Amino acid sequence: MCGILGLLLHDATVNAAPEICEGLSLLQHRGQDACGIVTCGPRGRLYQCKANGMVRDVFTQDAVVRLIGGMGIGHVRYPTAGSSHHAEAQPFYVNSPYGITFAHNGNLINTPALLQFMDAVAHRHINTSSDSELLLNIFADNLNDTGKFRINEEDIFVAVGRLMTQARGAYACVAMLAGFGIIAFRDPNGIRPLGFACRATAAQGGSAKDWLCASESAVADVAGFIDWEDVRPGTPETIFLPCTMCRTSPQKTILNIEYFFGAFFIVGEAVIMTRSGMSRRQVVPAATFAPDIFEYVYLARPDSVIDGISVYRSRMAMGNALAREVQRVLTEKGISVDVVIPVPDTSRVAALNLAQALGLPYREGFVKNRYVGRTFIMPDQQMRKKNVRKKLNAMALEFVDKNVLIVDDSIVRGTTSREIIQMAKDVGAKKVIMASCAPPIRYPNVYGIDMPSRTELVAHGRTMEEVAEALGADLVIFQTLEDLVASVRGLNPSIEKFECSVFSGEYVTGSVDNAYLDHLENIRSDNMKSKAGTGAMAASPTVADGINGHGKGEGAGEVELGKGAGGKRGMGCRAAESKAEGDGDNVRSSGAVDGVDDTIGLHNSWKLS
């Protein structure tokens, strides 16, 4: 559910960071845990600012000014499988080969096999528990296999194709090669959204273009980009390459990939944006194109268009379909409703259409505090519960002595719904009927949305009556899965299937069984997240911790390598007013601890004075 963004300006003398920052603010709803930007300036020099926190807090004016360069990528993070520690803030970076930065939205389902491959075959060190860093190193390893001093677009397409044969799960990715350009691609099933657009410039008689890729089209609309297109998914096909492109190591069987005479499987589409233009390649069309239907229910902005479907129109259709189900159930139960009230904000569109279809008054009964983040994506259950009443306040005059139909986009853990229902009763509602635009969520999501434990899902293993009792409602009404799919698919009939595993338990990528779900629940649990955060490399996003040598410096210094213990090279910081000397695991330093980033060795402009 993270948000990713890449921007390449044709004029390399104009800094891209201000626009990237604005774009990330438009994607803030997709992640509120951490954010980051890496830009590429003259001679391929990379500049970075990333930390835990909201976009408005991390990217101060001073920080943005230090992000030099006409292209860059950005990320807003919402943690799922990894910890909430700042060390996992994206984008990630590897210096070899060529200098690559990488941002990712989604979740992999074959992480253990990939980690074994990285260790036993590729010999690459993975520093965090983030599968985004893992994807980056797979991509880097594939590029490294070319053995070239300089690569071309053909090499990149091959590297992305190989990555798609190795990684299983959901991923929308944007990468930047220092001094080269930006690459965007998504998984073969197209589960997580990603698209790109262009903007004409005055250069070359108006023929030159700026390029943008982002998780949602709203970013392109606001920034004045046009011709939005979704990055297409794909399906496997065998092709043949020179034998130098494959490895003969028998350990390749770790990933169950056949390597014979240089043959391997390549899938999907990659989009490469450079100042010379845009290139895209797809081997064959998608076999099972299955975008995540929860994007339309809750995750995406209503003003976005994802895979040719207006999120706003899909929610209107959900309201119309839900109205029919509500009418059926209310008639069956002999219950009348006086007013329809939405849970702001994502259910407003559906609730309004539902009220119109049923001929009932629509009222705004809850006032929202917009300075409290989305409770669904808060990192722990205690924080979610604590913030519901801070976020919403019920207006008694819309509830007192009325049978109220409250409409929400979905009911996941039940934390928010339970508090909202109690709030309605506290201010005088006679009966509270809860209606959900989504079907009951009974299964975990393994593709990048934090629905980790089956036992945490309020509908798991419960009947509708038991769900209502657990929530404290007089009645709960859910949309049917058939109606939900029809509401979304009706706007783009070419999409034959959606990823609906949280409702059906059917996972489009396969290889998801109870053992995997048990494993996922363990590593994603709130308690595990808290513990994982204490074991990362550093205690603050401004401390410069090198591998085999820890450096602390002051000011906007450059990264330099110091001598570590046993002849190994540690990382220190050369600063204008403070000099750090790498001496094994200890570094003597004076002054503040702002300087080198603690995880990727890039100059980090976060909170520099």
The sheet carrying 226-230 orders its strands as: 46-52, 34-40, 71-77, 3-8, 209-214, 195-200, 226-230
DSSP secondary structure string for all residues of 462-486: --HHHHHHHHT-SEEEE--HHHHHH
Q: Is the pLDDT of residue 480 over 70?
A: yes
Q: Which helix (H) or strand (E) holds 561?
A: strand 558-563
Residue 452 vs residue 365, higher pLDDT = 365
Instruction: Choose, from 2, 35, 173, 500, the residue flagged as catalytic.
Output: 2
- Please report, to the nearest 10 degrees, the dihedral formed by the alpha carbons of residues 134, 137, 143, 147 taken in order: -140
The answer to whether the CB of 414 falls within 8 A of the CB of 442 is no
Mean pLDDT check: name the lowest of 51-65, 193-207, 343-357, 379-393.
Answer: 379-393
CA-to-CA distance for 246 and 464, rounded, in angstroms?
Answer: 54
Closest CA to 271 of 56, 8, 25: 8
| Confidence band of 282 (pLDDT split at 50, 70, 90) | confident
How far is it, in rounded angstroms, from Cα 146 to Cα 208? 31
- Of 144-158, 341-355, 380-394, least confident by mean pLDDT is 380-394
> In angstroms, how far apart are the furthest CA atoms of the chain?
80
Token code pair at residue 584: 């094994």
Count, in order, helices (H) and strands (E) of the chain. Answer: 17, 29
Q: What is the pLDDT of residues 38-65, one digit of tens each?
A: 999 999 999 999 999 999 999 999 999 9
Which pLDDT value is given to residue 590?
Answer: 32
- In the predicted model, what is the mean pLDDT of residues 277-283? 82
pLDDT at 508: 92
Tell me if residue 2 is catalytic.
yes
Q: Does residue 578 carry a pLDDT above 70? A: no
Mean residue pLDDT across the chain? 81
CA 551 to chain centre: 31
Rounded Cα distance, 106 and 129, in Å? 14
Which two structure tokens, joined as six digits, stand for 499? 């990823």
Taking Cα atoms as reference points, which of 338, 337, 389, 349 lies closest to residue 366?
389
Predicted local confidence at residue 113, as pLDDT = 94
Q: What percentage of the chain carries pLDDT values higher than 70?
A: 75
DSSP line for 42-77: GGG-EEEEEEES-HHHHS-HHHHHT--SSEEEEEEE
pLDDT bracket for residue 343 (50, 70, 90): very high
Two structure tokens written together for 252: 């390749």
Residue 424 pLDDT greater than 60, yes or no: yes
Residue 44: CB atoms within 10 Å: 13
Helix (H, G, I), strand (E, B) or coil at 159: helix
Q: What integer pLDDT is reported at residue 490 of this predicted model?
A: 97
Whether pLDDT at 563 is above 70: no
What CA–CA distance (Å, rounded) separates 369 from 390?
7
Q: What is the pTM of this model?
A: 0.81
Separation of CA 200 from chain center: 28
204 Cβ contact list (under 8 Å, min separation 6): none
H-type helices in 334-414, by residue range? 348-358, 381-391
Q: Is the pLDDT of residue 372 over 80?
A: no
Is the pLDDT score of 496 beyond 50?
A: yes
Which of 415, 461, 408 is closest to 438 using CA atoms? 408
Q: What DSSP state is assigned to residue 30?
A: G
Give the residue-averaged pLDDT of 548-577: 32
Q: Which one of 266-275, 310-319, 550-559 scores highest in mean pLDDT?
A: 310-319
CA distance 176 to 20: 14
pLDDT digits (tens, 9 = 90+) for 142-176: 999 999 999 999 999 989 988 988 999 999 999 99
